[in-house]
Amino acid sequence: MTRPFNFSAGPAVLPEEVLSQAAAEMLDWQGSGMGVMEMSHRGKEFISIYEQTQSDLRELLAVPPEFSILFMQGGAIAENAILPLNLSRGQQTDYVVTGNWSERSQKEARKYCSVSIAASNVESNYTSLPKPASWQLSESAQYVHACSNETVHGVEMHTLPDLKSLGSKVPLVLDISSHMASRSIDWTRVDMAYGGAQKNVGPAGLTIVFIRNELLGHALPHCPSAFDYKIVADSESMYNTPPTWAIYVAGLTFKWLKKQGGIAAIEQRNISKAALLYDFIDASSLYQSRVEKDCRSRMNIPFFMRDEKLDAAFLSGAKAAGLLQLKGYKTMGGMRASLYNAMPVAGVQALIDYMRDFEKNQA
Ligand code: PLP
């Protein structure tokens, strides 16, 4: 069966091999007589899946031993509250606002601590990134939060901020939801990172948190136990029942990633895929990317047409051509193509061919 190409921003396309294996093992996982959804999370079968998934993720992203990897629930939106409940100590925190998602993060954090906006690109309509050297960091901040890939606005930090070299000791916390596992992470610059799985990793329902161990153990007294990072870390993410099915599918994705050559190989492929589409958009007189070139996301590419009245025809023609879920985010309009790890080069090429034909037909 040939499937259409799916450009959804999330939940998003997964590798066919992953879906096929999950389907093949649905009724009977490796001769156990049980599907993964039916297994106790404390049984030896699921524990083996959990341990392999953890260690493959640690290996793929080269996560150092001084970090814990937590498998949680609630998505990145829940993390917007869980983070200040764990790390703010009810005191001052800094937030960098670079688009829809970091704006929502800072708003939620205000329920739990005082928030200062260290930098913002709102004046550029979220189309550029404030340079880390210009961030106004408070020495007393418990952490500084940023979103390293803004899924809605299509703005990505290609180099992670090196705050230590700028003289700051404030821990850096990143929302990496929409580019997790698409590229390498320099852990010397990061103290915590989190993201929902439903873009590059697996089904919705799993949130992955990477946290430096020294940050554990400072939750506010009213932090729910199931969301206390130390309790979650100490109980190997099994304080409550973890999202077992999502962890299993994430594990299949990590095996697939290793077969692709690991993160370095997938990162190169992602760079080439994004360049194909941006180069085409920049050369066209119908389509436009509004994001500055040095911070264009490789994962989420919003684009607009000269005349927005053409959007509906573009989208319905795209669907008929087997190119799905290209509609832009509700507050943005236009189109958005998400090119996650599982999007093959052939999918990007098919999109460009369709865009070229559509443009010709407008002439
Ligand atoms: N942060 C980013 C960067 C996202 O892309 C998303 C979802 O698209 C979220 C936060 C919200 O994630 P969730 O709906 O899993 O809570």
Tokens of 49: 């899946």
Q: What amino acid is encoded at 71 in this protein?
A: F
Domain chopping of the chain, boundaries: 17-259, 262-362
Atom of ligand 1 nearest to the CA of 207: 15
Q: How far is the CA of 283 from the centre of ligand 1 (A)?
A: 31
Question: Is 17-259 assigned to CATH 3.30.70.980?
Answer: no
Q: List pLDDT tens digits, range 127-161.
A: 999 999 999 999 899 999 999 999 999 999 999 99
Question: What pLDDT sits at residue 2?
Answer: 85
Ligand 1 centre to CA of 101 (Å) is 7
Among 321, 303, 327, smallest CA distance to 358 is for 321
What is the per-residue DSSP string for 303-354? EEESSGGGHHHHHHHHHHTTEE--BPPTTT-SEEEE--TTS-HHHHHHHHHH
Q: What residues are designated binding site for pyridoxal 5'-phosphate?
A: 101, 151, 175, 198, 240-241
Atom of ligand 1 nearest to the CA of 9: 8
Nearest to 208 by CA among 239, 177, 186: 177
Residue 349 CA to residue 336 CA, distance in Å, equals 15
* Residues in the ligand 1 pocket, defined by CB under 6 Å: 10, 75-77, 101, 147, 151, 175, 177-178, 196
Predicted confidence at residue 226, as pLDDT, reads: 98
Rounded to two decimals, the pTM is: 0.98
- Which parts are annotated binding residues for L-glutamate? 42
The answer to whether 335 and 311 are in contact (CB under 8 A) is yes
Query: Which of 101, 104, 153, when mutated, tests ligand 1's pocket best, judged by the most ligand atoms within 8 Å of its CB?
Result: 101
Residue 363's pLDDT is what?
Answer: 76
What is the whole-number distance in angstroms between the Cα of residue 67 and the centre of ligand 1? Answer: 22
Q: What is the pLDDT of residues 4-17, one digit of tens each?
A: 999 999 999 999 99
- Best residue among 126, 148, 151 to mutate for probing ligand 1, ranked by most atoms within 8 Å of CB: 151
Q: What is residue 21's predicted lDDT score, i.e. its pLDDT?
A: 98
Catalytic residues: 101, 175, 199
To test ligand 1's pocket by mutation, which of 177, 207, 300, 329 has the most ligand atoms within 8 angstroms of CB? 177
- Residue keyed to tokens 């443009």: 359
Give residue 42's pLDDT. Answer: 96
* Contact in structure between 227 and 240 (CB atoms under 8 Å): no
Q: ipTM of this predicted complex?
A: 0.99
Distance (Å, whole) CA 34 – CA 31: 8
Architecture field, domain 262-362: Alpha-Beta Complex (3.90)
What is the pLDDT, as a whole number, of residue 17? 97
Q: Whose CA is nearest to atom 3 of ligand 1?
A: 177
Kindly give the parts of the chain with pLDDT less than 50: none
Find the 156 Cα to ligand 1 centroid distance in Å: 14
